[in-house]
Each structure stands twice: as C-alpha cells, then as structure tokens.
Amino acid sequence: MSDPDRYNLDDLLAIMARLRDPERGCPWDVQQDFASIAPYTIEEAYEVADAIDRGDFDDLRDELGDLLLQVVFHARMAEEAGRFDFADVVHAISSKMRRRHPHVFDGVRYADAAVQRQAWDDIKAAERAGRGEPHDTSALAGISSGLPEWKRALKLQQCAASRGFDWPDPQPVLAKLAEEIDEVRAEFADGADPARLEDEIGDVLFVVVNLARHAGVDFSRALRHANAKFERRFRLMEQLAAADGGAFGEHTLAGQERLWQRAKALEPKR
C-alpha cells in the first residue's frame, strides 16, 4: 500500500480485497452478497444527501467515502464471481457520459434545450435497444422500477409533463389533493377496507409528490426536514416531561399534546 497518510483508490481496492479474503478477511464482509449489501448502498446515498442538506462538508467527505466503498464492495463481489471488476465500472460510466453528451465531447450542436432533451431520450432508447430490451416508445420508457417509490412517482410525472400532460399551476393539484383525501375519508366511513385504503392513500401520496414538483420543492428534502423537526420536538417533549418530574409515556394524550405545544413554542422562529 501507499503512504498511509494519503491512501489512494488502489489502496481502497486492496483493502476491500483483503476484507473479502476467505482465509484472512473479516467474517462479516466475507458472508455478504449483492442483496445483503444493497440496503447499505441506499442508506449511504441518503446520508450523503443529509450531509449536503446540513452543509457539513467534513461529514460529506466521509459520507462520500462510505458511498464509494459501496461501489467498491459490489465491484469486488462481481470480480470474485467473474462478472466484471472496478475498472469495468469506471469504463462503463465514462463511456456512457461521453455517449450521452455528444454536444460536449463530439462537437454536436443542438438548436435549443428541447432538441437536446429529445436527443437524450433517443440516445437512451438506442442504449436499451442495444441491450436487447423490447422496443418501447412510451415517454415513460426506461424509468427504473428499483427507485424509491416517491422518486419513481416524480420521474413518471416529469416524463408525462414533458409530453404536455400536466396541470398548469399548483392550484388544480391542491384541489386534486383535497379530492383524494375526501376519498380516504369515505373509505374509513365505509368500513376501511384495507385494499381500498391502500389504493386511496397511494393516490394521496402520488398527488403530494406532484404538489411538491409544482411548488419547486424537493420532496425528499422536505420530508427530511419534517423528520428532523419531529425528532427535535419529540426529544424536547421528553426533556420537558423529565423536567416536570415524570416520564413522557406516563402523560395522557392530552398531556402529551400540551408538551408538544410547549416544545413548538420553545423552538427558534425561522
């Protein structure tokens, strides 16, 4: 390995190879496979986004390292299986970036952004055809089913909007949201059939993603903020309950609501 004060990518690849060594490696790392590691890969991507959201660049450096480790981990397992290695991953993404940006690397000129967007779609369609995928002329072709569902909803909406299927502003979306919530209420009134409730609540969530899109709000970031706010207030409620001489769980629902209102009042005004 190189100078331990400044490891490089080759060192990281060597470290992963050692961790996966059946004789000398780490038992936990050795027993992992693609399926078991995939949830960690997703988690690390979200932690990168969280560091960016907090503006913590020291943490961002570390989280990007964790995410890179996930790529190296998957590549190592693939190499062991004789499928591909890390160099193949680098080659594949480099080739894709050059192929999808002929206006940057090959001197192609597009008349405007709309022509460029269509060319991007055409290039992706050619890639799918090259992989032998069935010919699909839909505007929704190529949207991965492996995305987080809120992200897939957003991409479906964006692609539909690119073909003109969209509301003109947020007001009709708000009206549609109210309509979908009324339908959820109706399901509860009719006996709350689980399958119907799942369907109607799904419609609500889909419209909420659409509302965020029309508002220019990042759905994931907004939800992270909401989660952080809830966690901050809940922890403060627990502290307030302890300061009053009792445990939070010993309060009635009405008492917990009073603690919630006190916690909200103590928060700095934004």
Domain containing 28: what range? 9-98
Assign residue 34 the CATH number of its domain.
Answer: 1.10.287.1080
Q: Please tell me the predicted confidence (pLDDT) of residue 135.
A: 75
The answer as to whether 129 is a domain residue is no
251 part of a folded domain: yes
* Residues of the chain above pLDDT 90, percent: 66
Domain end residue (candidates: 48, 64, 98): 98
Contact 237, 266 (CB under 8 A): no
Element (H, E) at 105: helix 102-105
Give the count of domains, the chain: 2
Query: Is 81 a domain residue?
Result: yes
3-state secondary structure of 100: helix
What would the pLDDT profile of 211-224 be if each residue is shown by its tens digit? 999 999 999 889 98
- Give, in order, the Cα–Cα distances in Å from 90 to each of 39, 62, 85, 216, 232: 22, 21, 9, 33, 41
pLDDT in tens, 235-265: 999 999 999 888 898 899 999 999 999 999 9
Q: Report yes or no on 72 lying in a domain.
A: yes
Share above pLDDT 70 across residues of the chain, in percent, rounded to a whole number: 98
pLDDT at 3: 60
Position 4 in a domain: no
